[in-house]
Amino acid sequence: MCKSMPAKRCLLIAVALLAVVLSAQQVSAWSYSSVYHYKSLYGKHLTGYNSNVIVDARFGRTSVELENRFDYTDRFKDDVQERLNERLQLAVSHNWDNGFVKGFYKSDWFDKETGYILPMGSFMPYYEHNFKQAGVSANGNYANLKASFNGRYRSYNFQPVFPMFTKEVKGDNLKSEAEIDFRFYKPLAIYISASDKSALDSDYDNYDISSVGTGLKLDHTFTPIQHIEAQTGIDWRESDAIAQDRLIPVTSKIRYTYMLDTQITGFVSYEARNFYDREGQALLFNSHYLRASGKYTFLYDLSHGSYMEIGGKAAPSEQVKYTSSAIFAQTDIKLTDRFYLGGGINHMIERYTNYEAKAHYFFTPVSEIFVDYIYTDDIEFNEFATYTSAGLRLLF
Amino acid sequence: MNKRKLVYLVLLLLLLSLLISCKKPSTVEYTIDNSACNGCGRCLQVCPYDAIELDNNGKAVIDQTLCKQDGLCVKACPQNAVY
């Protein structure tokens, strides 16, 4: 992996990892890595490797988390372009009884001239390039008040694929959002929120957006087996990058969870988004999203890892290119002491059907090796494809 | 009024607000279902407009100022979390 990255970046990751591990009181680590191969009916194929490593070190109430994602694909688009991406994130957080504060630094690195992207509405392609982000988030609860804040700074830089026609794009922006909830009666809270994204020194500054919002939240457990969450609120957004008929959405959500017994659980959630004109008089658009799922857990598996689940979602639309309605089912069954076999079907209306089979073996109680096979019937492009992957999940 | 009645009343008002002036359904913005997203990042990889990022909770968020609604993220999401 380090052969393909700049030595300075590789050294930085190694030093940061070593410093965190050596100085911590308690260290835990999670790692995922897999190789995969994709092949379509018409001969398009690609092979890739991805990994994700998270190391978490605790020093009392303070924790330091280092995450590294690596993704390589030998062909990315139209069999002509490889893609190599590495993401490093370092986060430091401090928790106390009523909240936390967290700071992070994130850096996305792409190999030179790897992968295409169309940034900021450009019609000409650019190579994917480096991002740097830094930010803070804080959350606190005091009596009936709950306050949260997120802020991040991001700088970016894109190199054109055809420099004779387009120039380099670079810039930075600042995004911040805050919300205050006041619980005036135990299941009910009123909230106000504000957010803003502004370009600082950018080639493109017409993607700024700011919004304020307010609404009502409900969070109530009727009995230990029934729980309901609901929220309704309105946002007023200002942006030149959003169509004028999408500036005032009213969003309402309900999620109802029911536990029939220790084996059977299910939920139904519904969300509606209504867009009003600036005067708040005329309803311009509305959209609906309904999702329901039921899960049966086999009690013979004490880890609760054996289950059957079936669900669906409906999001009818006459506006966008594709509806996102789908039905899906999946299962994972413990066959022997450490061996699981599973599979699933995911059918997205008018787009594709995925058939999946998977097997995994736990060589320790928390670490496993797996093989996954997905057959895709692509209705949209009248094509068939297979996706095979194998890898490891480790927990220390 | 006891708590149960209040909850039912709020839910009734909420449902009524949802059903007000029902027009033909028209998704004008793709959105992420937070409870379904597992933060795998596949939507980030397929979006050609750099319009998706992960928030501080590791969940995907669509920047509506950059989204061109081509729907690639809808197809790429293994959790069916984009709608």
* Torsion from C-alpha of B71, B76, B80, B83, nearest 10 degrees: -10
* CB A11 within 8 Å of CB A18: no
CATH number 3.40.640.10 is the correct assignment for the domain at B29-83: no
Dist CA A156 CA A126 (whole Å): 12
**CB–CB contact B48 A272 (8 Å):** no
pLDDT tens figures, A240-298: 888 888 889 999 898 999 988 888 999 999 988 888 887 777 778 888 889 999 999 99
Contacts of B23 in chain A (CB under 8 A): 283, 285-286
Residue of B nearest to A134 (CA): B56
Q: Give which of A78, A177, A322 to mutate to test B binding, by max B Cβ within 10 Å.
A: A322
Closest CA to A324 of A332, A333, A315: A315
Q: Please report the ipTM that was assigned to this predicted complex.
A: 0.84
| pLDDT of A371 | 97
| pLDDT of A393 | 94
Higher pLDDT, A313 or B10: A313
Q: Is A303 helix (H, G, I), strand (E, B) or coil?
A: coil
Greatest mean pLDDT among A177-181, A229-233, A335-339 lies in A177-181
pLDDT tens figures, A17-45: 777 666 767 888 999 999 999 888 777 78
| pLDDT of A161 | 79
**CB–CB contact B7 A220 (8 Å):** yes
List chain B domain ranges: 29-83
* CB B39 within 8 Å of CB B59: yes
A321 touches chain B (CB under 8 A): yes
Mean pLDDT of chain A: 86
pLDDT tens figures, A58-77: 888 999 999 999 988 887 65
Dist CA B9 CA A63 (whole Å): 43
**CB–CB contact A322 B75 (8 Å):** yes
**CB–CB contact B69 A321 (8 Å):** yes
Dist CA A72 CA A88 (whole Å): 15
